[in-house]
Amino acid sequence: MINLTTRYGAFFKVVIVSSILMTLIAACGGANPASAPSANSLCGLGNGEAATAAPIVVGAAVGASGGPADFSSASKGAAAYFNCVNANGGINGRPIQYIVEDDGWNPEQSGQVSAKLVNDDKVVALVGNTSFLDCAVNGQFYKDSNVVVIAGVGVPRECFESENISPTNQGPRLSSIGAAQYMNEKYGATKFVCMALNIPNFGNWSCDGMSEWGKDKGITVDQVIFDPATMDPTSLVLQAAAFEPDAIITTMPAPVATALLKAAEEQDLRAKYHWFGPTSLYDLAFPGAVGSYWEGYLDVQIELVNIDSAGSDNQNWLKVMDGYADAKDPRDSFSQAGFLAAKIFTDTMLKLDPAKIDRASVTDALKAVKGYKSDLLCSPWYFGPGTTHNANHAGLMVKLEAGGKWSVTKPCFEVEDPALAPILELEKSQGLTK
């Protein structure tokens, strides 16, 4: 008998090594663009087979209607990813049934929809929540029900200070402080006006954060807090201007900020003060809404990477949105955040025995997540122990440029909120980002 291993050993070694090298090249996105992975291959099991076993029920509570803005973008990003996962094997054969409820920006309705999701629909977790009300109204309920929330976009303070809620975003307080840091560094601004909505633990909480940051830097922050239902944009802009600031921030949803910037345009104030905003202003539609007047005059802090980032997760988000979402669904930071929340959930569930996935096992698994890396973020994400959760505390700056384009003006940098001190210490002592 001929010993093929002896006779052709060298040949086999060459073939095996070449095969390994080709596999590695393909995995790393080699020189052949045609071999680049599709959205399907990057969702869940990536096997192209529809999941048909018993569904895993997941929910989300969002403020889609009844308020000054539609805050459902994160859930749409999450839904697109879950649709892709379900088309590619699901959670080891089990599809994700994603139920999104609108709280209507109404506290009573917020309690009702969350009770429905938890008690009636029997969700194992909530993923992609985005609401000005949900965290405050339902934070204790989620804890009592042993339900974990991976919020796509945390807004009021309670989203970051509730035991069972951990957002993927920074929140308006950190985003506003980060933007103020840049305005001080770039333009030497030391006198700010913070304009924000009169919503409990949102407007004052965000603006007070800027004051606390600037306390030892000789930086003053005046506040214009208002009710969006009765707002007079021109009067509010003139009220802010009366403080004679160096810079004015509009800490609010994009539609409200648009109205204020239009009023400022009517007064021709773009060059008199430096204008800036938090992540809520960063999407592809905003430049068209405010018009070319503001090109070159508006700086925005973003909590995840820029929408046109070449990172693999960001590119996959865009592919998934194109393949599994409506063409009208926003491509913005909040959509990225919802996509990321869904991906964290999916990656965590794929490590569990699919037959034993229930609310208790899901809660334990999600609370144990740490060191989760994604190019959508400036640093790894974790759920975290205790009652304070703010894993995302570094962002970027972008500027509205000619042609309605956003350009990155400062890459990832840490936000200097004094309130982050215990969180940073906890990260270090427990290795949460490793």
Which residue from 69, 275, 221, 44 is spatially nearest to 153, judged by alpha carbons? 69
Element (H, E) at 122: none
Per-residue burial over 303-333, b if 16 or more Cβ lie within 10 Å, else e, is: bbbbbebeeebbbbbbbbbeebbeeebbbbb
Angle in degrees, CA 41, 328, 94, rounded to 5: 35
Token output for 89: 């094997």
pLDDT along the chain (434 residues), means of 10: 32 32 34 42 88 98 95 97 97 98 98 98 98 97 98 96 98 98 98 96 97 96 95 98 98 96 98 97 94 98 97 96 96 96 98 98 98 98 97 98 98 98 97 96
Residues of the chain by 3-state class (helix, strand, coil), percent to 5: 45, 20, 40
Alpha-carbon span 277 to 100, nearest angstrom: 29
Amino acid present at 52 = T
Name residue 283's beta-bridge partners: 332
Q: Find the helix or strand (DSSP H, E) in which 302 lies.
A: strand 298-302
Asked if 231 and 256 touch (Cβ cutoff 8 Å), the reply is yes
With beta carbons less than 8 A apart as the criterion, state whether 409 and 299 touch.
yes
Q: What is the pLDDT of residues 149-187, one digit of tens each?
A: 999 999 999 999 999 999 999 999 999 999 999 999 999
* Rounded Cα gap, residues 134 and 110, in angstroms: 6
Q: 228 and 68 in contact (C-beta within 8 Å)?
A: yes
pLDDT confidence of residue 3: 35
Q: What is the pTM of this model?
A: 0.90
CA atoms lying within 13 Å on the CB side of residue 416: 14
Pairing mode, strands 298-302 and 274-277: parallel
Residue 12 Ramachandran class (φ > 0 left, ψ -120 to 50 alpha, else beta):
alpha
Question: Residue 63: helix, strand or coil by DSSP?
Answer: strand
H/E segment holding residue 310: none
For the purposes of burial, counting CB atoms within 10 Å of the CB of 433, is it exposed (0-12), middle (13-18) or buried (19 or more)? middle
Token pair in block for residue 78: 């999450």
45/351 Cα distance (integer angstroms): 12
Give the H/E segment covering residue 192.
strand 191-197
Q: Which helix H or strand E contains 197, and what residues bound it?
A: strand 191-197
Q: Of the candidates 396, 417, 413, which has an alpha carbon nearest to the alpha carbon of residue 208?
A: 417
pLDDT of residue 284: 87
Q: Which domains does the chain have, with CATH numbers?
A: 56-171+307-392 (3.40.50.2300), 172-302 (3.40.50.2300)
